[in-house]
Structure 1
Amino acid sequence: MALIGLIVLTVLPREASASLPYWTAYYDSNQSNWFQIQPIYRPAGAYSADFGEPVDLYVASDDKVYIADKKQNRVVVLDQDGSLLRTIGEEEGSGQLSSPEEDRGI
């Protein structure tokens, strides 16, 4: 039982952080001092997909986001909240993409 607990502890991540990956500062030239201030930009969220080589991004009028991934031969479609709606071109056959390029458009 102790061995299983040890394996579980080594596999699980040790820490999780919800802090921003940067800090925002203001430089006061009169006092020659830096002051940390509230973040100017705070991301609403992030999409963590396994992109091979994203080469183009398009936001449609309905706020859907289309990302062309050249290496994975697909187009990833996200909604306005960043949730995955579908992927286009991964299937074998006539609908399969071959290295979608940025200058050809999506």
Structure 2
Amino acid sequence: MNTSHDRLVVVGAGLAGLRAAETARLAGFTGSITLVGAEELPPYDRPPLSESVLAVGVKTTVQTFRTVEQLSRKLGVEFLGGRQATALQFARRTLELDERESLC
């Protein structure tokens, strides 16, 4: 288990999660950053829901704030989309994900 403090794991890959990762880099954090999100898509604009979105046959477009490539190349952030955090083992500094994977 890695016991150093050179890793940041952000749970929630919405705009707030993206901003947390960006802010960490701007503040000089040089360790690894992992962004975990339940949705497959990287952080995207979530406009207010309207009845037009619910209409049958209406296509909607998704405007991402950053692509997976941009997260990796420009921010050095690993994106784990389609994954859910299921437990935090605070004393062990471990985050458990679905499929029995753990991040230290």
Q: Calculate the TM-score normalised by the size of structure 1.
A: 0.24
Larger Rg over CA atoms: 1
- Structure with the bigger RCO (C-alpha within 8 Å, sep 6+) is 2
